[in-house]
Amino acid sequence: MRLLNLFKIAFKAIVLNKTRTLLTMLGIIIGVASVIAMLAIGEGSKESIRTTISSMGSNMITIRPGADNSGPARGSGGNVQTLILEDYNEIKKQASLLSYITPVVNGGGQVINGANNWPSTIYGVNPEYLNIKAVGLQSGSMFTDAEVKSAAKVALIGGTVVENVFPDGQEPVGQMIRFNNIPFKVIGVLEEKGENTFGQDQDDVVIAPYTTVQKRILAIDYLNQIMASAISEDEASEAVTQVTDVLRSQHKLIESEDDDFTVRSMEELISTFSSTSEMLTVLLVAVASISLLIGGIGIMNIMYVSVKERTKEIGLRMAVGAKGTDILMQFLIEAILISVTGGLLGVILGLGATVFIENFLNWPTSVALYSIVISFAVCAVTGIFFGWYPARKASALDPITALRYE
């Protein structure tokens, strides 16, 4: 009964002071909404990097010659020739945590089909390559181990190569192309993968047996890299250790010597790249925190002033018999109603803004639950506290002192 009355009083006060209520709510709404939207942008870009990298094969482990002087976008080891087929064989034999493994040699050149000419890259690999890269075939089939052994002149090509050397929509499988003047029979077309996070066209490739590429195209006897995939994502880092151990003993490195090769799991690659987007997120969080702070100060300000200016009203209510708790409850209910309504509107606006950004600006977004919880909590708590605190002070006065307050 009493509580119901207090609810009515609080509700009436809110309706009576529409402008003030609206201004307070606006602070809360903008504070909450901007935090949610900004964190959604940060989280979204982080997640999109993660998914594109994972789509490249999430268990993938790459082994390159040469020490790690960092930078994930480094070339394929340049002219370092320390990685050889023997290494590949030993790793394949000893590393139990790997499910697939392939040597990789690669080089650039011209793909030619009659009058059509296209610069591309050829990758010499074994059949396990497709499993490692998690890429399927659009048509045709992969070459076999036998074809690897015999260094057969067969190739699979990516979508971009198809478009450029078979422009009139001819079926490429079964056709002959030339790569740096060496004739290859096209036996398959790779599934389209699009651009990766680094803007590289993953469909601009030619794939052939590594033996063929080594001997006929590049005329080398070392490997540019070895690619493998761990049996599971969880085992990836353990697999990296295994590979490292095998290679160190293969390369007869003593304790004091650094690795003359680099083993990387996808997980590491992801974290390297995530750190870039992490920076973005930190920046956005900083901006969001500032807007939350400003929103909080706004709420504080308006709540504080509005309670102060109503000291006279508090005095009157006490003069006609309101107890201190009645006053406190009234202002607490008011503050809760305003803060919670404002907070909810802020969440709705924040989610709306996120949808807008996603659909109209085409930025990847991902709404984090914690951003909703934190921003809502901060605004609601600030609003409630600064609605309650001055009211508590006013209700501790003698009625006449409160009534006299100017």
Partner 1 sequence: MTKEIIKIQDLKREFTMGTETVHALKGISFDIKEGEFVTIMGSSGSGKSTMLNILGCLDQPTSGAYEIDGVSVKDLNRNELATIRNEKIGFIFQSYNLLARTSAIENVELPLLYNSKVSTEERRERAIKALKMVGLGERLHHTPSQLSGGQQQRVAIARSLVNNPVMILADEATGNLDTRTSYEIMSLFQELNKKGITITFVTHEPDIATFSSRTVVLKDGEIMQDYLNHNVQSAANELAKLPKQDE
User: 284 Cβ partners below 8 Å, 6+ apart?
Assistant: 38, 39, 41, 42
Question: Residue 8 CB, nearest distance to partner 1 (Å)?
Answer: 8
The span from the CA of 142 to the CA of 193, in Å, is 17
Our finding on whether 399 is near partner 1 (CB under 8 A) is yes
Question: Residue 338 CB, nearest distance to partner 1 (Å)?
Answer: 18
The span from the CA of 108 to the CA of 180, in Å, is 9
User: 127 Cβ partners below 8 Å, 6+ apart?
Assistant: 102, 142, 143, 144, 145, 148
Our finding on whether 2 is near partner 1 (CB under 8 A) is yes
Q: Which stretch binds partner 1 (CB under 8 A): 30-38, 199-207, 224-232, 396-404?
A: 396-404
Question: Residue 311 CB, nearest distance to partner 1 (Å)?
Answer: 12
Question: Residue 391 CB, nearest distance to partner 1 (Å)?
Answer: 15
Q: Which stretch binds partner 1 (CB under 8 A): 8-16, 27-35, 113-121, 133-141?
A: 8-16
- DSSP-derived letter for residue 258 is P
Are 328 and 391 a contacting pair, CB within 8 Å?
yes
Residues of the chain by 3-state class (helix, strand, coil), percent to 5? 55, 20, 25
Question: Residue 29 CB, nearest distance to partner 1 (Å)?
Answer: 25
DSSP 166-224: STT----TT-EEEETTEEEEEEEEEPP--B-TTS-BTTSEEEEEHHHIIIIII--SB-S
Q: Which is nearer to partner 1, 377 or 396 (CB)?
A: 396
Our finding on whether 16 is near partner 1 (CB under 8 A) is yes
Question: Residue 317 CB, nearest distance to partner 1 (Å)?
Answer: 7
Our finding on whether 64 is near partner 1 (CB under 8 A) is no
The span from the CA of 253 to the CA of 44, in Å, is 43
The span from the CA of 66 to the CA of 73, in Å, is 14
Q: Which is nearer to partner 1, 19 or 362 (CB)?
A: 19
Which of positions 302-361 make contact with partner 1 (CB under 8 A)?
Answer: 312-313, 315-326
Question: Residue 382 CB, nearest distance to partner 1 (Å)?
Answer: 27
State the number of binding residues for partner 1 (CB under 8 A): 26
Our finding on whether 406 is near partner 1 (CB under 8 A) is no
The span from the CA of 272 to the CA of 307, in Å, is 51
Interface with partner 1 (CB under 8 A): 1-2, 5, 8-9, 12, 16, 312-313, 315-326, 398-401, 403
